[in-house]
Amino acid sequence: MYTLGSTIHHETITADMMRVVVVDIRNATARVPVPTEDVQTVGQALGNFILWPLRLSRAIVKKVEAQGQEDMNESLQQQLQSPQHIILEQLGVLAVKISLSPIELEMPPEVTNRKSSLSFFICQRDIFEILSGTDMLCISVLQLWLLYLHRLTIEKKNDHIYGFIDPVAIQGVGNKGEEVQNYLLEAFVNGKKQVYLAPYLQQGHWQLLLILPQQFLVVLLCSLHKKPHTLAIKNTLILVVEAYSRLQGTHILSRKKLQFIAPTIFDDTSPMEQHVIKDVREQWAAFLLTICK
């Protein structure tokens, strides 16, 4: 609920109404309670403020009477005033503001070992994905997360250990095999990191590859328990690590066959626990809000 004026879509907000913003849709064809010329269905309301009858809302803040005045329950008040709640609320407001103007961000070349800085965009839909906490994330959301992790490694003084691979540059769609090989090889040679984190999209599912070229090892982390032999990028990684070892002067007798492992670290294929997802959402949101100031 927001207090941003007395009208919305040319309609006056009366005492029995409130202003809400739609961030998640379950039935796009459902009619909104108070249709206007601009918005008649829930599907048309995504990212927009709409009128909503108070009688159709569910109270999330419980009020109690105290000395003739309504005071908010203390524990709930503290929750609403918590930094986490404020961060997600600010993110929701930002989503509304950028409905037609995506945020352009710059990815410095040292983050993902590219030859030059690259621009990427955070749009309204990306923010809604974070706010919902249940949608599949688009690639720009992960690019921002890599930028956050890069800065975090610098703060923790372990940026000499961890490197990051641009998920755009290793996708099969839009990239030639030779281009992917050249990018990965240059990343390993120039980055000189011990471990590279590579978000990898395959068949509509995000996986995380931990690539340790100096140890001839690739670790596949997949919540669906996919096996390494299913990786479309497997042969490319084998060729790149072999080329990298030659460039490093590794004797042919010391070269190992690239090993792929997929440790079972997920008990099941259900989503992560809500408090874990919430923590990641808040860190992502706080970082975006910080760099957008």
Residues 116-171: tens digit of each pLDDT = 999 999 998 888 888 876 677 889 999 999 999 999 999 999 999 999 999 999 98
In a domain, 10, yes or no: yes
Which among 198, 201, 203 has a CA at the least distance from the CA of 184?
198
Same-domain pairing of 191 and 249: yes
In a domain, 93, yes or no: no
Same-domain pairing of 148 and 265: yes
Same-domain pairing of 119 and 48: no
Domain extent, residue 261, equals 103-291
In a domain, 3, yes or no: yes
In a domain, 98, yes or no: no
Same-domain pairing of 111 and 50: no
Domain total of the chain: 2
In a domain, 66, yes or no: no
CA distance 240 to 120: 27
CATH code of 114's domain: 3.40.395.10
Q: Which pLDDT tens digit goes with each residue over 61-115?
A: 344 344 444 444 444 344 445 566 688 888 888 888 887 788 999 999 999 999 8
Same-domain pairing of 217 and 277: yes
Q: Which pLDDT tens digit goes with each residue over 184-220?
A: 999 999 999 999 999 999 888 899 999 999 999 999 9
Give the CA dihedral 15, 17, 21, 26, nearest 10 degrees: 160
Same-domain pairing of 108 and 188: yes
